[in-house]
Amino acid sequence: MSGGEAIMNTPLLEAKRLAVDIGGHHVCRALDWRVDAGESWAILGRNGVGKSTLLATLAGFRAQQGGDLSVSGLALPQPGQGKGLRAIARVRGYLSQHQFDPFASTVLETVLVGRHPHLGRWDWESAADRRIAEAALDELDLGGFADREVQTLSGGERQRVAVAQLLTQEPQLFLLDEPLTHLDLSHQVAVMEMFARRASKGAAIVAVLHDPGFAARYCGRALLLFGDGEWLAGPAGEVINATNLTRLYGHPLRELSADGHRWFVPR
Residue 117, interface with another protein (CB under 8 A)? yes
Give the integer Cα–Cα distance in Å for 58 and 156: 26
Out of 113, 128, 135, 265, the only residue in the binding site for another protein (CB under 8 A) is 113
In order of 42, 89, 127, the CA distances from 163 in angstroms are 17, 15, 21
In order of 20, 175, 212, the CA distances from 234 in angstroms are 20, 18, 14
Residue 59, interface with another protein (CB under 8 A)? yes
Least distance to another protein from the beta carbon of 113, Å?
6
Residue 94, interface with another protein (CB under 8 A)? yes
CA-nearest of 133, 130, 52 to 95 is 52
Least distance to another protein from the beta carbon of 225, Å?
21
- 50 vs 93, beta carbon nearer another protein: 93
- 104 vs 135, beta carbon nearer another protein: 104
Residue 101, interface with another protein (CB under 8 A)? yes
Residues β-bridged to residue 59: none
Structural Rg of the chain based on CA atoms: 19
Segment interacting with another protein (CB under 8 A) among 20-28, 146-154, 195-203, 234-242: 146-154
Alpha helical stretches, state H, the chain: 3-9, 51-59, 85-91, 107-112, 127-139, 155-169, 185-200, 212-218, 236-239, 242-249
Out of 3, 103, 201, 257, the only residue in the binding site for another protein (CB under 8 A) is 103
Give the integer Cα–Cα distance in Å for 264 and 106: 40
Positions in 61-80 near another protein (CB under 8 A): 61, 79-80
List residues near another protein by CB under 8 A.
59-61, 79-82, 85-90, 93-94, 96, 98-106, 108-110, 112-114, 116-117, 119, 121-122, 124-125, 147, 149, 151-152, 169
